[in-house]
Structure 1
Amino acid sequence: MSTYSTVETQTVRADNGVDYAYRSLGSGAGAPPLVLLQHFRGNLDNWDPALIDALAHGRRVITFDNTGVGATSGRTPNTVAAMAGDAIEFIDALGLDKVDLLGFSLGSFVAQEIALHRPDLVNRIVLASAAPRGAAGIHGWRRDVIEGVGGREPSPEGYLHAFVPATPEGLAAGQALLGRIYGERTEGHDDPTTWQTRQAQYDAVIEWGIPNHALLERLQGIAQPVFVANGDSDPMIPPRYSYLLAGLLPDVQIKIYPDAAHGFLFQHHKEFAADVNKFLGK
């Protein structure tokens, strides 16, 4: 039986001419596939195998590299709207008529755009470490965060600074996470993300965060049920934006995980997977 650490990477060509690298795990009769949208600079290998395995019990889970990311061809665009359009191209290329979405960080921005532009495609949505477009205070990240995860050569120390709290429990969970992400897959690794991808994605983050309160009204167009979640000490996208989303979305549940930062969904992977599975109706 395959796990996320052993499942092979596949490729599909979309109508836009892009060859998308993806991994598909699990199956589930009658349940829409769960498509995952990755964080800033992340590729297929940066998903926590323990989380993916837990989500794939009785459900098909699909991870992929969007345009220009990792092993996917093309050039990474510099707006969230373009990333959403590319993600839709990928989903269409797989022949999927209805999906659930789980967007993490930058991926949560993309998930919102997909739901707004192709509402017929989306069943339910999970937004992890998320913020709405135009909210005040997210026009770029804190200096310590961008220094930790935004340099040419990201380091494990910078990753841990953003993804787990600096508590004994948080740091221990972070070391265990690094072991799962970098130690469990022994072959078939994804291509690393490039400097062009990092720059384009950060440009997209900056554009998303230009203060414009009128854009918050767009969230009224997301009619699907949404589960919003975050860690209580996220330095990249603080949990106040989860509460803002919860106040603006028509049909929403919210949960803030204790002693957790940006990578709460990996740190609390068992609890988060159980919460997501319950929300999706498994």
Structure 2
Amino acid sequence: MATVTVGTARVHYAVEGSGDGPALLLVHGTGSGGAAVNWGQTAPRFTGDRRVITLDLSGGDRTVDDGGPLTVETLAAQVVAVIEDAGLGPVDLLGFSMGAPVSAVVAALRPDLVERLVLVAGWAYTDGDEYMRNLFTLWQRLGEFDPAGFGRSVTMTGFSRGFLNAIGREGVEALIPNMPPTPGTLRHVELDLAVDIRALLPRITARTLVVGATQDATVPVENSRELHAVIGGSSYAEIDAGHVLFFEKEDEFVSTVTGFLGSARRKSADLLGSAVA
């Protein structure tokens, strides 16, 4: 566990795993549970041959700041600071949901720090999608006036109908408390409403994979398709799941990501061979 100071924030991060190739940095989505809720189950799947960095952005429970409004650029600066403080750049960078536009901005502004980029269930412009604008506005209202309704709403849109029916009532009820409308979560929702990174997308030069979820009821899959269309030379994959696709289809998600990133050990050996040659 470590922290790095960025402005008024003491940003919490952790590094796990081993290997000499590019580290993988996972950027979480909306919710004050941060990295633990998003990546607690999935991150260990990537640590076999690489170091994996997880961080808690401002608004996350384990990162302390002044509580002010957040911007994509502010959170991107926190990701940059973690990469530099850990001394592991350039990294493979993966952002989920809110973490996708944050990661895209990091890649656009600091290409020297990003080896490969993976954008999962992300988007570029909230005002361009009336569905999302209204959904995030509804979350704000529920967070203020109906916290229990907030939990049910984010659960309904976070997972596909088939997945919710498969885990049954007990499983669904267990999911609902995972994203309470804390002040940090609502700061994230306010940021979600303001996302507009369209001007920066053409500046991304890292090899990029965009991953969409075909049953996504939070960030409809068309948004991922649009990211792919705008980011030159990017690859694209879809997984038949709801928004939190790494919960619903973990094996397929891990396989899709590792298939794009390749083996960290192999890349390290290739670099060593090049240096010797």
- Shorter-chain TM-score tier: 0.7 to 0.9
**Match in the other structure for 2:182:** 195
**Match in the other structure for 1:58:** 49
Distance 1:202 1:181, change over 3 A: closer
Q: Secondary structure at the match of 1:130?
A: coil
Q: How many percent of aligned residue pairs carry the same amino acid?
A: 24
**Match in the other structure for 2:78:** 86
1:123 and 2:86 are equivalent in the alignment = no
**Match in the other structure for 1:252:** 234
Distance 1:263 1:277, change over 3 A: same
Aligned-residue offset at 1:244: 0.8
* Structure 1 unaligned regions, length at least 5: 1-9, 184-191, 210-214
Aligned-residue offset at 1:177: 9.3
Aligned-residue offset at 1:129: 0.5
CA deviations over 1:7-61 (Å, ceiling 9, x no partner): xxx12233646432223221112x2111111111141321243321212221111
Contact 1:13/1:93 (<8 A) preserved: yes
Contact 1:220/1:249 (<8 A) preserved: yes
Q: Secondary structure at the match of 2:152?
A: helix
Higher helix share: 2
Pairing partner for 1:280 from 234, 242, 261? 261
How far apart, CA to CA, are the structure 2 residues paired with 1:200 and 1:148?
9
* Structure 2 unaligned regions, length at least 5: 264-277
Pairing partner for 2:25 from 18, 35, 43? 35
Pairing partner for 2:192 from 200, 205, 208? 205
How far apart, CA to CA, are the structure 2 residues paired with 1:105 and 1:264?
11
CA deviations over 1:216-262 (Å, ceiling 9, x no partner): 3532211111111121121111111111111111121111111x111
Contact 1:67/1:76 (<8 A) preserved: no
CA deviations over 1:123-144 (Å, ceiling 9, x no partner): 1011011112467116854449
Off by >6 Å, runs of 4+ in structure 1: 174-183
TM-score normalised according to structure 2 size: 0.80
Pairing partner for 2:89 from 81, 97, 108? 97
Name the count of aligned residue pairs: 257
Q: Secondary structure at the match of 2:188?
A: helix
Q: Secondary structure at the match of 1:25?
A: strand
Aligned CA RMSD, in angstroms, stands at: 3.1
How far apart, CA to CA, are the structure 2 residues paired with 1:69 and 1:172?
30
Code of the residue aligned with 1:204 in structure 2: it is L
Contact 2:30/2:98 (<8 A) preserved: yes
**Match in the other structure for 1:242:** 224
**Match in the other structure for 1:164:** 159
Contact 2:19/2:50 (<8 A) preserved: yes
Distance 1:195 1:268, change over 3 A: same
How far apart, CA to CA, are the structure 2 residues paired with 1:270 and 1:251?
26
Contact 2:59/2:185 (<8 A) preserved: no
1:232 and 2:233 are equivalent in the alignment = no
How far apart, CA to CA, are the structure 2 residues paired with 1:143 and 1:216?
21
Greater Cα offset, 132-141 or 157-166: 132-141
Code of the residue aligned with 1:43 in structure 2: it is G
**Match in the other structure for 2:58:** 67
Code of the residue aligned with 2:114 in structure 1: it is V
Contact 2:4/2:81 (<8 A) preserved: no
Q: Secondary structure at the match of 1:261?
A: coil
